[in-house]
Structure 1
Amino acid sequence: MSQPSLAGYIIKRPWLKKMMMPVANWYANAAGYRKLGLKADDLIPEESETVLLALKRLPPKEAYDRVYRLRRAFQDDVQYLSPIIREIEAEARERADLESLAIKKK
């Protein structure tokens, strides 16, 4: 994760920090992950080698807490995309079966 950040610039200027805090709080609440009990770093995809290595270096307590937060969030979450994914997979299987169908003449 190497995106540019203005955090250092804003934190060094108390007047700017005071002005930006309501916007930051609004954004964090609008993102929705806090309502599920997650932290921002819990949303980092585990697909890169760097993130996997960082997860291995977590202290045991923090690693356990992270897994607990993720499991709780998944249990409280509502599936909205999974049913559609299953439907598309079923259609793909049916299409593959129909395309591989061989017609025999008697």
Structure 2
Amino acid sequence: MWPLDPSQKEVLTFAIRCRILTLTLQVLTRLLGSSTPIVYWFPAYLLQSQEPLLRSVDTVPEKFAENSPPGQKTPRNCILKLLYNWKACSPVTRCILGYFLTYWLLGLLLHCNFLPWT
């Protein structure tokens, strides 16, 4: 079962260690991402403190109706409101939304192709 050549044993040992490390990292990132709310609290805090569009949602709801696509109702979800008003968002909001959208899209594409994605 085990190869007799020492270099093949080293390659096999290296491959096994890489696989264990990969599995450990995937499990740890999934565990931290699903059970640690700090990862989501910080971007939420930044969005609430840095984004003027979110502060004006309750006071001026008509502001979102002006910039939404024609013939479409104004969404009640704050994230959709920010996406509809992408150009009016602050740079911090664009970075946060861009990160989460990219992470979601890459995870969707890689998972569907049976590639490792955490």
Indicate whether the TM-score tops 0.5: no
TM-score (norm 2): 0.26
Higher helix share: 2
Instruction: Tell me which of the two structures has the higher relative contact order, counting C-alpha pairs closer than 8 angstroms and 6 or more residues apart.
Output: 2
